Structure 1
């Protein structure tokens, strides 16, 4: 089925959800960072101003990608990978080390760039194109699973060398979701997932990450050392109660909780806005998941369906990892909360990715058989059965 060449209306609900999260994020960055900014920078709005600039650039990026036909990105996905992979290597050599990880390329005193954030978007674009071209070969080991594991394994290896387990989990999740959606052999997929899970498990038990497991199993011990961030996060969330202490009234951000405006911002949100505010943010991410996966299901071409699946999985899974780590539901690992945590690179790239989702929504009609609909999948299975039965 040919897609319409004339774009229609965007998914306004998706846009409203993202803008709501963005506004909440700007408010919380100012609230969570004001004490640290005043103490160390001499200006309570220092981090807020930088985040505001990033939000402005991100909205521009979203408006641009929203206007570009998403199918055009297929032409540049390989070039994007050829740029992203050397950047991941470069950051290991000359990257700035902060918080125990080497993730940033610093350009001057004002601008820093995180290649792993760009890699998430570029990888989603490339894998969607690669899987769409493979067609039914995705279900084979030689032409499907093997090259997929090599490609994703290289990216994950470079990210893990940066000591960035959280980003590696997100990248593995979005890649696995896209591969499964494209029609992977379920037995091969489960075996590969088990092997991948074993590798990740061994990584979490080595080096400093083993202390995070120790802290996860007993979060109320070692509260001044390995469990400092988790304990203070739980204390902040518990102090918030149902309705919170009030916007700006957090006590944990005043030197007690590390990184209150980055990885731990959800704890400050819970302390100031309470259970109601925390639940509202979680519900917004659930709506984002619903609109994104609904969009993937209704898209009429497999490339658009895979791309929407990858981007949605990335944003939602990253939110899950951040919130789960903050609440002690998983061993602590640092990733920003999309649209809310402080971080210019993450915000700009995430908004650009949302723009692509919005562009995909502009080409949605009421199709007879969307790419991921039951009818289309049944038709594909029947076609494969007929092809195999032929001599």
Structure 2
């Protein structure tokens, strides 16, 4: 009997040790905020979705049920990516990028049109442009990590990077999806900067990006209209686009404390796509400036934890992945919120974790899982505090010097 007790105690100790190993290194603040935002997003989809479900001749809870299913898939994605060693992306990144480009071609050939854009496949359930954002971060991070020695060579560094980003962005622009294409180009350029790209190349990239942006705005009628409406709205909010005017109406209705969950009026009186792109306006109307302020803080927490993970990552690949993913999620959130108050031209991107949309939710949660994995695999010695917002600078200038040396010059120690 005593031997049995000893065996049971040993099994308990072993199980406890395995549990500690699983939990060790997990950033529970990041995970908790991501789960809280997902749950809050389900609540807001439940509030904003019924009218649009009725218009689509679906049951009132149609969008909520679908979002619940996608949230479940997203949580599975978190579990998989959180325990999948991010170093294996070195072997998978090329295949992931090829598959993503292939899916963008499928959208061009067989995609389904919604509101004038062809972005989805498989019954509007999958939007490859959302997947392209995360896959591009993974691919570019792996590529920059492997090309550190030739990064500042234009022919071997900048041009190949620009080619892959350009192909992806052009395929997305053809849908058209301006916001996704711009996001991919911004994140790609930012990762190039963080990896140690030379200033002259960064200036060149910015100049080319401005030129291409100007051409896109003038080629696409939608782009010209959005910029024109944006400029008019800056001069007088009453002259802004209909979308922005209705969004501002919702925000003003909410006041400081909001009208209460489910009691928004603008979602019934013409606010466009209240359950997707405009859901921030519904959040502010129903929870007030207090609720939208807490939402803003939640995204800042994700940025803080992501940059903290980047700072503690054991290698450049982990640093680039963590910085790229955390900045991407936060950038998407801030663009969406800024558009709703006419601080930026209309972009049409989702509010991460909150807007209705399975592809956006699953891909964002998978990105959180990668952040958790990088945190788990970081060196245990890097647990001390510090200025985590300085990690972006630390990625580029370790010990005050650029991480990547110019061709023909040895890096200074």
TM-score, structure 1 normalization: 0.91
1:327 equivalent among 329, 341, 345: 341
Aligned to 1:62: 78
Instruction: Give, in angstroms, the shift of residue 372 of structure 1.
Output: 7.4
Aligned to 2:381: 366
1:378 equivalent among 375, 399, 412: 399
Distance 1:221 1:82, change over 3 A: same
Aligned to 2:254: 240
Equivalent residue of 2:69, what SS?
helix
Q: Which moved more, 1:211-220 or 1:237-246?
A: 211-220
Distance 1:78 1:162, change over 3 A: same
1:271 corresponds to 2:271: no
Ranges in structure 2 where 5+ consecutive residues have no aligned partner: 1-20, 385-390
1:47 corresponds to 2:63: yes
Instruction: Give, in angstroms, the shift of residue 388 of structure 1.
Output: 2.6
Instruction: Give, in angstroms, the shift of residue 227 of structure 1.
Output: 1.8
Q: How does 1:338-357 map to 2 (within 5 A)?
A: 338-357=352-371
Query: Using the alignment, how far apart are the partners of 1:383 and 1:201 within structure 2?
Result: 31
Q: How does 1:277-316 map to 2 (within 5 A)?
A: 277-316=291-330
Query: Using the alignment, how far apart are the partners of 1:245 and 1:292 within structure 2?
Result: 33
Root-mean-square deviation (Å): 2.6
Instruction: Give, in angstroms, the shift of residue 125 of structure 1.
Output: 1.3
Aligned to 1:388: 409
Q: How does 1:251-266 map to 2 (within 5 A)?
A: 251-266=265-280
Distance 1:139 1:51, change over 3 A: same
Query: Using the alignment, how far apart are the partners of 1:318 and 1:174 within structure 2?
Result: 11
Aligned to 2:141: 128
Q: Deviating runs (4+, > 3 A) in structure 1?
A: 38-42, 219-223, 367-376, 378-387
Query: Using the alignment, how far apart are the partners of 1:273 and 1:184 within structure 2?
Result: 43
Equivalent residue of 1:103, what SS?
strand
Distance 1:350 1:136, change over 3 A: same
Instruction: Give, in angstroms, the shift of residue 191 of structure 1.
Output: 1.6
Deviation sequence 1:131-183 (CA, Å, 0-9, x none): 11111311221211111111111111111111111111211121111111111
TM-score, structure 2 normalization: 0.86
Instruction: Give, in angstroms, the shift of residue 48 of structure 1.
Output: 0.4
Distance 1:91 1:374, change over 3 A: closer
Whether contact under 8 Å (2:149, 2:404) holds in the other structure is no
1:158 corresponds to 2:171: yes
